[in-house]
Amino acid sequence: MELKELGKSSVMVPAMGVGTMLWTPRGSISEQTIRETYSACIDNGLNFFDTAEIYGNGASERVLGACIKKDGRPVLVATKFAPPSPMNPLTQKRTTVSKNSPQALLEALDGSLRRLGVDHIDLYQIHMPPSKSSIADYMDAMAEAVKAGKVRAVGVCNFNEAQIREAHSALAKQGIPLATAMVGYNLLRRWPETNGTFAACRELGVSVIPYAPLAEGVLTGKYRAKGKRVPLGYKVALYFGHLNITKDRQDSQSLMHRMFSKPLELDGKRLEPLFQTMGAIAAAHGKTLAQVAINWLLTNDEVRVIPIPGMKSVGQVENNIGALDWTMTTEERARFSQKEKTL
């Protein structure tokens, strides 16, 4: 398994991580399936797991912690702290400090350590930009956690270019690198390439962790079949993102136009040419559409990319592993750049 460094942190992880957002007792998979999936991940060298305190109100961390304890093999864990933010109205309650205080990060960290049953977090991330206190204040709390030996590397999630730079600057004053930036990035969501996110990460030596690398299953092609519908919850999220309220996209479409048009992920007619390109590359390498979509991320030469597809079954683990043993050619990557202009 190829290893990649998280930014300039010296923390080395597999080229692909494992998303565990749905690893909860009340989720769509059973605890037995979770344990089997976990074992399959470790068996195949995928021992970098990403979770968060808000996934199932801590349930994902607890389930992952139980798997770590039962299996016993070494793992690398990434989790996240959720500050008060418009992106997260259901902020976790705190017991010893105000939830609006950056010191709440340290209380949240201790809670994650308990639920996971570990003595340190390999990558601790701020889940979204805070709305109450400054990013610098939260980075000071992160630095305190690093110096206490509870955190090995620091990351941010859903931060824009200016926020990434602010976090990096604040940590640098403490002699700590900003290791990662987690963003929504896939073949259908390429805005980080043009909105300054990639430029900042490349300049500062920050690794990119794309969430939803398969666009919640859209890029596997499973919704191409008639009668197969994208789940309602994902549809709502897609329409919200389509409105571009957070200004991720650098384009001139008006809000009115977006309100009365479909998100790309739900427009089968516009997606079909992309699927045909993916299918041709998949056929040339004996791969699946999902493996093409993930390999496209892995072969990015602008920034260091470490995708974290969610894995809910042994079959998904085996399919995702198939993205790692080959390399898309420069010419094949160029076909996607050309295809984007027609989407």
Q: What is the pLDDT of residues 35-46, one digit of tens each?
A: 999 999 999 999
Biggest distance spanned by C-alpha atoms of the chain: 58
Whether pLDDT at 234 is above 90? no
| Paired strand residues for 123 | 78
Whether pLDDT at 341 is above 50? no
Give me the torsion for CA of 132, 185, 245, 57, rounded to 10°. -50
Tally of domains within the chain: 1
Which pLDDT score, from 0 to 100, does residue 340 have?
A: 57
Which pLDDT score, from 0 to 100, does residue 240 have?
A: 59
Q: Report how far residue 52's alpha carbon sits from residue 79's, in angstroms, rounded to the nearest whole number.
A: 5
Contacts of 10 (CB under 8 A, 6+ apart): none
CB 298 within 8 A of CB 323: yes
pTM of the model: 0.90
Q: Report how far residue 133's alpha carbon sits from residue 148's, in angstroms, rounded to the nearest whole number.
A: 22
Burial (Cβ within 10 Å: 0-12, 13-18, ≥19) of residue 153:
buried
| Paired strand residues for 180 | 155, 207
Nearest to 219 by CA among 278, 283, 132, 139: 278
Q: What is the pLDDT of residues 201-230, one digit of tens each?
A: 999 999 999 999 999 889 999 888 766 777
Q: What angle do CA 126, 158, 256 make, to 5 degrees?
A: 145
Which pLDDT score, from 0 to 100, does residue 99 have?
A: 67
Q: Report how far residue 189's alpha carbon sits from residue 234's, in angstroms, rounded to the nearest whole number.
A: 14
Identify whether 52 is part of a domain: yes
Q: What is the pLDDT of residues 263-290, one digit of tens each?
A: 677 777 888 999 999 999 999 999 999 9
Identify whether 36 is part of a domain: yes
Identify whether 134 is part of a domain: yes
Sign, Cα dihedral of 176, 42, 183, 245: negative
Would you state the structure tokens that stand for residue 61, as one six-digit string? Answer: 């961390």
- Looking at per-residue pLDDT, the higher value among 241 and 303 belongs to 303
Identify whether 65 is part of a domain: yes
CB 320 within 8 A of CB 294: yes
Identify whether 274 is part of a domain: no
Q: What is the pLDDT of residues 128-165, one digit of tens each?
A: 999 877 999 999 999 999 999 999 999 999 999 999 99
Confidence label for 298 from pLDDT (cuts 50, 70 and 90): very high
Nearest to 110 by CA among 66, 74, 79: 79
Would you state the structure tokens that stand for residue 146, as one six-digit string? Answer: 């690093």
CB atoms within 10 A of CB 51: 27
Q: What is the pLDDT of residues 98-132, one digit of tens each?
A: 667 888 999 999 999 999 999 999 999 999 999 87
Identify whether 244 is part of a domain: no
Average pLDDT over the chain, rounded to an integer: 88
What does the pLDDT average to over 51-78? 96
Would you state the structure tokens that stand for residue 318, as one six-digit string? Answer: 């085996």
3 state SS of 305: strand
| Paired strand residues for 236 | none
Amino acid at 91: T
Q: Report how far residue 75's alpha carbon sits from residue 178's, in angstroms, rounded to the nearest whole number.
A: 21
Q: Report how far residue 46's alpha carbon sits from residue 52's, in angstroms, rounded to the nearest whole number.
A: 18
Confidence label for 342 from pLDDT (cuts 50, 70 and 90): very low
Identify whether 18 is part of a domain: yes
| Paired strand residues for 157 | 182
Q: What is the pLDDT of residues 69-97, one digit of tens each?
A: 999 999 999 999 998 776 665 566 666 66
Q: Which domain holds residue 23?
A: 3-218+294-329
Identify whether 318 is part of a domain: yes
Residue linked to tokens 């340190």: 120
Residues across the chain: 343
Residue linked to tokens 């959720």: 82
Whether pLDDT at 244 is above 60? no
What percent of the chain is modeled with pLDDT above 70? 83
Complete DSSP assignment for 194-237: TSSHHHHHHHHTPEEEEESTTGGGGGGTTTSSTT----HHHHHH
Confidence label for 251 from pLDDT (cuts 50, 70 and 90): low
Which pLDDT score, from 0 to 100, does residue 60 have?
A: 95
CATH number for position 168: 3.20.20.100
- Looking at per-residue pLDDT, the higher value among 180 and 95 belongs to 180
Would you state the structure tokens that stand for residue 222, as one six-digit string? Answer: 């499973």
Which pLDDT score, from 0 to 100, does residue 88 have?
A: 63
